[in-house]
Structure 1
Amino acid sequence: MPHYRHEVYWQTTEAAEPQDALTGDVDCDVAIVGAGFTGMWTAYGLKKARPDLDIHLLDADLAGGAASGTADGFVTPTLGKDLDQLIRVYGEQAAAKASATVGRSILEIGRFCRREKVDAEYEANDYLMVALNDGQLARLEHDRKLALRLGSETKIMDAAEAREYVDSPQIRGAVRVGGALVNPFKLARGLARTLRGMGVTIHERSPVLRVDQTGTAGGPHTVVTAAGQVRAPQVVLATSASQYTFPEFRRTVLPMWSYVLISEPLTEEQLGRVHWPGREGIVEAKTFLHCARFTADNRLMWAGGRAYYYPRSPFDRAHHDNEAIYRELTGSFGRFFPAWRDDVRFSFAYGGVIDITRDMMPHFGTLRPGLHYGYGYCGNGIAATHTGGRILRDLVLGESTDYSTLALVDAPRPTFPPEPISFAGYQVLSRVYEWKDKRP
């Protein structure tokens, strides 16, 4: 049985120690719960717009150390699960506007890295959506027609054309999509350093117990931790899957686990076995997809497959250790890349918690005056969180802009049924999606 390190690879690429845990009481202009991408991009946008604002972020552990620093590092224009769902929920015009906005965020993240001198290993090399069977080819064609209706023309490559990009015998077709790759932990830590340099206070190792409203409706809010509290007229809840722990979101988001394998660095001889000159990311055209990419030091990442829901212990780190899942991932990797099947050694194996909503869409808005939220990226959040930060910036400032008027803002938030119905329903829905992904 392989010996894996059940720790997040990205978080071994840069040393980080928690700083400035909250002790005592603080008054400020804006308190942000969650120092992941959403919370930090919100703070960055606010500080750029209003340098005088006193902003405090609170995180249960390390800034960028949860979902943001565990992500696979694909910076894509995807909102929620896919374009089809976006159009189904919001209609073509609103979907086109939202997609274009997230597409701009891909470029703006790259500009941020250059401007702030953040070495996040940003590679603007697009990604390939690949089809492995008739059902996935049909999905590519369906998505091509949807994109055309929204004003974007795409070409489906046949197997021979696609294998000029990535030579896997399983590929039967592909679409090239604009995007980038990044080291998510280095991006998050660079963003945290930038914020501190701008005068933003980040309290790490400061888990929030609750958010109270003081006085009458419309009064300030108090963010309560075990060691102190932060009082602010404006509060943002941006905790990804941990929104599940707040009563207001208990049934609007489910924390699910997605799994990853990361190899040792490949030798020149190993790299030469598979034609993959552009180092594009690869994403399978299905709901429970597999994806692959290189890291900056030429490790291979192979991730995805079915997402797992553990209703009794959704955040238990023991879920990292699941040999059956890693065996499935190793098997699917060997089928996709038979030239690497026998001697590419995976040294990192771990899971990460993603925030799944019932409509597979992210949600932003205001619960009550002064209390705002953003969550629900469904595993596609790096670019969307940047857009989300712009949305939440404008909600905090009370401004009506192209961001704060997107269809994602204050939209209905469909709820999951109570347990154990949610768990049983998820099992059924998973099999339905698997069946749909295989049929032409």
Structure 2
Amino acid sequence: MNGPDGVADPPPASDNPWSRSLWLEGVVEDLTPREQLSGDHTCDVAIVGAGFAGLWTAYYLKAADPSLRVTVVEAEIAGFGAAGRNGGFVSAGIAGSGGRYARRSGWDSVLRAEREVQRGVDEIGRVVSSEGIDCGYKKSGALTVATTEPQVQRLNARVEAKHRFGLGSEDIRLLNADECAELVRGAEGVLAGTFTPHCARVDPARLARGLAAACERLGVKIYEQSPAELLRPKVVQCRGGRVLADVVVRATESYTIRERAERRSFLPLYSLMIATEPLPQQTWDELGWQDGMGIGDVRHLYYYSQRTVDGRIALGGRGAPYRLMNPISTENEQDARVYERLCETLREAFPAAAQARITHHWGGSLAVPRDWCMRTTFDRTTGLGFVGAFGGHGVTAANISGRTMRDLIFGQTTDLTSLPWVGHHTRNWEPEPLRFIASRVITKTLASSDAYEERSGRPAKRAWLVKPFLPPS
């Protein structure tokens, strides 16, 4: 059924309460929840949240010390949140602002962080291979394209900045239009681009569910449908019981704001996605899109896309409205205006797939800290740890955070424990309704900036007005 503008209505959400995305719907094994926590349970390390951050922390702790008793409690099912709904980019590039990290730790630490994130892409591939996780991991790099002159300027500035502090052309390089066409022939209107080899494609839900199974094989205990109501030193109070532990690690990302004391710690920003039906080989031949390579752009409301394991285009972007009264809810997982914009982006960027049927539309919330910088913290006195604040870079950043938290808990001083986000602290967001007003103004400003640049071919100065509230370019 089509709306008045000719755009097909968004496909309905799945009736299965756990299948909140294309990825979760396609998970091979049963999504029936694991055992719920009941009564008191004692362990050495309790981790709250079975997303990427919590699962990687559990995996590396147990792999390092098989005698350690590690327990994970999850409000829904493993991979239910952002881990099972994201774009599936195992990408390099640090989560946060290099300049902000450098003010605290220096530019050498930022370069070390960039290198560690690059290694993180390969480390995830190593674990996927060694644990036999069937998640379609394929490392073919990422192409970022520009279709207007202002976008070309932003790409040039980004590459110059990366090269200036130590990355080389083997890490990220500029491409002209012809070079972009060698990587994807069917992308329309491309003027220039950048390419990095440090990126892989995955089915994120299969990765999360496979990682949970790997944790269990090592002896990690996972309780599902066991929401934590209170975290404090040595105790996690859940709806059905308590977990008593020497170490308690919070890995709840955007869902952290559901705890009263943490309501202003993050802006729960939604990123929405669509997916086409599986495309015929003739369309892929026309597109010339190498399997495993991610493609995105540098509009202010940018898109990101991957070629899925089963031959679809999965494409996502920002711009979902922030809701004052219920910032995290199923109602926020679909939005008609964002859906139309994503469909239009698909048609414009990949005209060979313009007639493909859209089979899925979904979304998930990510945790945006006030300065967009991730953090990994551990207080040895209280035994409380935190991993998260990834701001949309969680697939790779969570792996690094899990390894770092392992070292912090074991009291080891390593290259990981000296990375610039270790011990980083961020002030809270402004109280409501200021946060609500700001989020709406930001979205409208970015959308109007894109429209102005496409119409005029000149950079939109208005975008600078909201730059302090945006992730680093």
TM-score for the superposition, normalised by structure 2:
0.87
Query: For residues 16-42 of structure 1, what are the alpha-carbon distances to aligned partners after superposition, in whole Å with 9 as ceiling and x for unaligned?
Result: 221121011011100000011101111
Matched residue, 2:281: 268
Q: CA deviation at 1:279?
A: 4.5
Aligned to 1:157: 175
Q: Deviations over 1:32-89 (max 9, x none)?
A: 0001110111111111221111011000011112111111100111222566666577
Q: Which residue of 1 aligns with 2:302?
A: 289
Query: Residues 249 and 101 (structure 1 numbering): CA distance in 2 closer, same or farther, change over 3 Å?
Result: farther
In the alignment, the residues of structure 2 paired with residue 42 and residue 193 of structure 1 have an alpha-carbon distance, to the nearest angstrom, of 14
2:11 aligns with 4
| Structure 1 residue 329 displacement after superposition | 1.1
The separation in 2 between residues aligned to 1:166 and 1:86, in whole angstroms, is 35
Distance 2:291 2:76 in 1: 36
Query: Which residue, 425, 429, 433 being the options, matches 2:442?
Result: 429
- 1:394 aligns with one of 407, 414, 419: 407
Match of 2:225 in 1: 205
Q: How much does 1:11 deviate?
A: 0.7
Q: Distance in 2 between matches of 1:162 and 1:65?
A: 36
The Cα shift of 1:322 comes to 2.1
Residues of 1 paired with 2:405 and 2:300: CA distance? Answer: 28
Q: Which moved more, 1:361-370 or 1:427-436?
A: 427-436
In the alignment, structure 1 residue 179 sits paired with structure 2 residue 191:
no
SS in 2 for 1:176: strand
8 Å CA contact 2:175–2:192 kept in 1: the answer is yes
How much does 1:146 deviate? 1.6
Task: After superposing the two structures, state which structure 1 stretch, 37-46 or 280-289, moved more.
Answer: 280-289
Closer, same or farther in 2 for the Cα pair 1:71/1:88, shift >3 Å? Answer: farther
Kept in 2, the 8 Å contact 1:363–1:374? The answer is yes
Aligned amino acid, residue 232 of structure 1: A
**Residue 328 of structure 2 corresponds to which residue in structure 1?**
315
Contact (CA 8 Å) 1:78, 1:384: kept in 2 or not?
no
Alignment partner, residue 107 of structure 1: 122
Query: What SS does the corresponding residue of 2:244 show, helix, strand or coil?
Result: strand
Q: Select which of 195, 201, 220 maps to 2:215.
A: 195
Q: Secondary structure of 1:230's partner?
A: strand
Instruction: Tell me the residue number matched to 1:77.
Output: 92
Distance 1:124 1:86 in 2: 28
Residues 136-194 of structure 1 deviation map (CA, whole Å, 9 limit, x = unaligned): 21121111112112322232111111111112122111111121011111111111111
Quote the Cα distance in structure 2 between the aligned partners of 1:138 and 1:121: 34
CA RMSD in angstroms comes to 2.0
Residues 1:134 and 2:146 aligned together: no
Count of matched residue positions in the alignment of Structure 1 and Structure 2: 432
Change over 3 Å in CA distance of 1:245–1:77 after alignment to 2: same
Match of 1:217 in 2: none
1:83-102 aligned at under 5 Å gives the runs: 91-102=106-117
Q: How far apart are 1:305 and its partner, in Å?
A: 3.4
| Displacement after TM superposition at 1:90 (Å) | 5.5
* Contact 1:84 1:143 (C-alpha < 8 Å) held by counterparts: no
Which residue identity does 1:34 align to in structure 2? G
Normalised by the length of structure 1, the TM-score is 0.93
Question: Secondary structure, in 3 states, of the residue corresponding to 2:286?
Answer: coil
1:22-421 correspondence runs (5 A):
22-80=37-95, 91-154=106-169, 155-167=173-185, 168-177=187-196, 178-213=198-233, 221-341=234-354, 343-366=355-378, 369-421=382-434
Native 8 Å contact 2:246 2:383 kept in 1: yes
Structure 2: segments with no counterpart, 5+ residues: 3-8, 14-19, 460-473
Partner AA of 1:180 in structure 2: A
| Alpha-carbon offset, residue 392 of structure 1 | 1.4
Q: What amino acid sits opposite 1:299 in the alignment?
A: R
Structure 2 counterpart SS, 1:30: strand
Contact 2:56 2:399 in 1 (8 A): yes
> CA contact under 8 A between 1:83 and 1:143: conserved in structure 2?
no
Deviates more, 1:314-323 or 1:81-90: 81-90
- Whether the 8 Å contact between 2:90 and 2:200 is mirrored in structure 1 is yes
Distance 1:199 1:102 in 2: 28
Question: Which amino acid counterpart does residue 84 of structure 2 have in structure 1?
Answer: G
Structure 2 contact 50–72 (Cα < 8 Å) conserved: yes
Aligned to 1:19: 34
Residue pair 1:135, 1:436 contacting (<8 A) in 2 also: no
Amino acid at match of 2:378: T
The answer to whether the Cα contact below 8 Å between 1:85 and 1:360 also exists between their aligned partners in 2 is no
Q: Deviations over 1:316-366 (max 9, x none)?
A: 10223422221111112111122322x211110011111111111112213
Q: CA deviation at 1:287?
A: 4.5
Asked if 2 retains the 8 angstrom alpha-carbon contact of 1:289 and 1:306, the reply is no
Contact 1:372 1:395 in 2 (8 A): no
Work out whether residues 79 and 377 of structure 1, in 8 Å CA contact, stay in contact via their aligned partners in 2: no
- Distance in structure 2 (CA, Å) of the matches to 1:99 and 1:287: 23
> Which whole-Å deviations, capped at 9, do the CAs of 1:274-326 have from their partners, x for residues lacking one?
22235511021244310111111101111103243223112210223422221
Distance, in Å, in 1 between the alignment partners of 2:277 and 2:104 is: 42
